[in-house]
Structure 1
C-alpha cells in the first residue's frame, strides 16, 4: 500500500480523490468508486499498489495496437477495480470483483519484462489509471531500461494526473465506448466529455489508437457513428481505429453484434479515418494495413501475428509516411 497522489483532506477525516472526474469523497475505512483507493485515518492510499491479478506475455497486436511495434511481444499486467461500471464488461471478474492477487514490485516487473525479451510493459485488463502510483514508478524505471510503456484505458482521468503520467508513456489505446452522454451515464456510470478531452491531449503527446466495442441497439446508429469518427478525424485521421464485436458478458445478455452491422460501422468509419480494423471476426477483412494514398498492402495479419511489407514507416510504392512506431 502507498499513499495516493492527487487528493485533498476534508473535515471529519474524509478525503476527496482528485484522480478522476468522479471526485469521490471517501469516509475513513472506505474505498472510492474504483475500489483501488482507500481512506485510512484521513489519508488516501492506493489499495492496489503492486497488487497484480493478471500477468502474461502477449503480441502487442492483442492490446489492440496495430501500428506500435507490430510483431513484437509485450508484458501485459493488470490489477483489479475500475472507475466505470460498464454493464457489458468483458473483464468483470477483475474490474468489478477482487480476485486472487500476487505482489510484484516495480523493480521486479521491469526485470521480468527484460527477461521475457519484450518491448516493454502494457498496463491493461482492468482500468490502469486507478493504479496510478504503481504505473508512474514502474514506467520511470522501464524508461531507464529502454522499455516501452503502454496504457490500455477508458481515458477517464483528470487532466493534471494525465499530464504528469504522459512523459513516461509511449503508447495508449483508449476505449471510446460511445459518442452519447447518456450511454456513459446509464451504462458505464461515467461521463463522456473528459474522455474526449483526454483523447485530444493524448493524440498530441504519444502514439494513440482507439477501440470501440460495437453493441447493436446501443452505440451503433449511423448518426452516432458518423459523429464519433467525424470528430476523431478532426484530431487526426491517421489514428488507428479498432472496431470490436460485442458478445454477451456480465449484465448484458443481448445477442452478439451481427457481422453485417460490423461491416456497416466499418464502412462509415473508413469515410473519416485512414486505418480502421475489425476485431473478434475471422478472416482477413478489416485486418490488413494498406497505404491510405495508393492502397499498397503494408502489414498483413493472421490473428495476432503481423507480417511487415515495408521498411521503416514509409509506403514502398508512393512514399507516404505511415502513422505509428515501427522497428
Structure 2
C-alpha cells in the first residue's frame, strides 16, 4: 500500500492506495473482530468505473466467505456487466426516472440502465432500486405506474426505495418533494410490488 495526502478545502486528507488483496484482508480482519460485518460495500461516486477492482476483490471476498455489495447508477454495458455481476451478491441501483427524456437530462442511457437491472436479476443478485422523486421532473403518477409495472415484470419482490428530493447544487431551482407525493407514489407502486419504502422524510 502507498500512502498519499490530498488537499480538500485547505485540509490535508490522508488516503492510501489499496489492492484487492489488501481490502479483502481488512474485511476479513474486521469480520473476525466485530461479528456482523459481512463484507464490503462499493459505493459513492460510481464504483463500477473500477469494475475490474470490484470483480477481483469480490472473488477474494467470496473465497473468504464474505459478501460483496455495490451501489451504482447501473450505467454499464452488458459486455462488462457480465464480467462483474457473477461476483456481486447485492446491488442498490439508481433508477433515476422512467423515461428517455429524464435520462437525457441527467446525461444517462435509460435502456442501458434497464438492461443492467434485468441482467443483475438474471445473474441472481439481490437487487434493490432507488428513485429520487423530483417535482415536475419524474413525479407523475403515470410514470410511477409504468416503473412499478416494469419492475414487477422482473420480480414483484424487488424492493423499491422512493426518496424525497431536496434542492442541491445545480438542481436548486426545483422545490422540495412533498411527503404527500412520496406517499401517493408509494401507494401506486405497492399495487405491483411487495416491498416499497419511503426515504428522506
TM-score bracket relative to the smaller structure:
0.7 to 0.9
Figure out how many residues of one structure are paired with residues of the other and give that number: 187
Q: Distance in 2 between matches of 1:265 and 1:222?
A: 6
Larger radius of gyration: 1
Q: Distance in 1 between matches of 2:42 and 2:21?
A: 15
Q: Distance in 2 between matches of 1:264 and 1:100?
A: 45
Q: Distance in 1 between matches of 2:41 and 2:98?
A: 26
User: Structure 1 residue 218 and structure 2 residue 137: aligned?
Assistant: yes
Q: Distance in 2 between matches of 1:262 and 1:276?
A: 11
Task: Give the alignment's TM-score, normalised by structure 2.
Answer: 0.87
Q: 2:27 pairs with 99, 113, 116, which one?
A: 113
Q: Distance in 1 between matches of 2:117 and 2:47?
A: 16
User: Structure 1 residue 196 and structure 2 residue 126: aligned?
Assistant: no
Task: Give the alignment's TM-score, normalised by structure 1.
Answer: 0.54
Q: 1:258 pairs with 168, 178, 181, which one?
A: 178
How far did 1:116 drift? 2.1
Q: 1:153 pairs with 72, 76, 84, which one?
A: 72
User: 2:74, 2:116 within 8 Å by CA — same for their partners in 1?
Assistant: yes
* Residue number in structure 2 paired with 1:276: 196
Q: Distance in 2 between matches of 1:194 and 1:151?
A: 17
Partner SS, residue 162 of structure 2: strand
Partner SS, residue 165 of structure 1: helix
Partner SS, residue 170 of structure 2: coil
User: 1:211, 1:244 within 8 Å by CA — same for their partners in 2?
Assistant: yes
Q: Distance in 2 between matches of 1:247 and 1:189?
A: 20
CA RMSD, aligned part only?
Answer: 2.1
Q: 1:127 pairs with 43, 46, 68, which one?
A: 46
What's the CA shift string for 1:60-112, capped at 9, x where partnerless? xxxxxxxxxxxxxxxxxxxxxxxxxxxxxxxxx9xxxxx97431221121121
* Residue number in structure 2 paired with 1:166: 85
Q: Distance in 2 between matches of 1:143 and 1:157?
A: 23
How far did 1:127 drift? 0.7
Cα 1:213–1:102 change in 2 (3 A) is: same
Q: Distance in 1 between matches of 2:157 and 2:63?
A: 30
Q: Distance in 2 between matches of 1:238 and 1:100?
A: 42
| Higher helix proportion (structure 1 or 2) | 2
How far did 1:153 drift? 0.7
* Residue number in structure 1 paired with 2:167: 248
Q: Distance in 1 between matches of 2:47 and 2:118?
A: 19
Q: Distance in 1 between matches of 2:88 and 2:188?
A: 31
How far did 1:148 drift? 0.3
Q: Distance in 2 between matches of 1:229 and 1:258?
A: 20
Query: Where do 5+ consecutive residues of structure 1 fail to align?
Result: 1-49, 53-92, 94-98, 282-327
Q: Distance in 2 between matches of 1:154 and 1:230?
A: 20
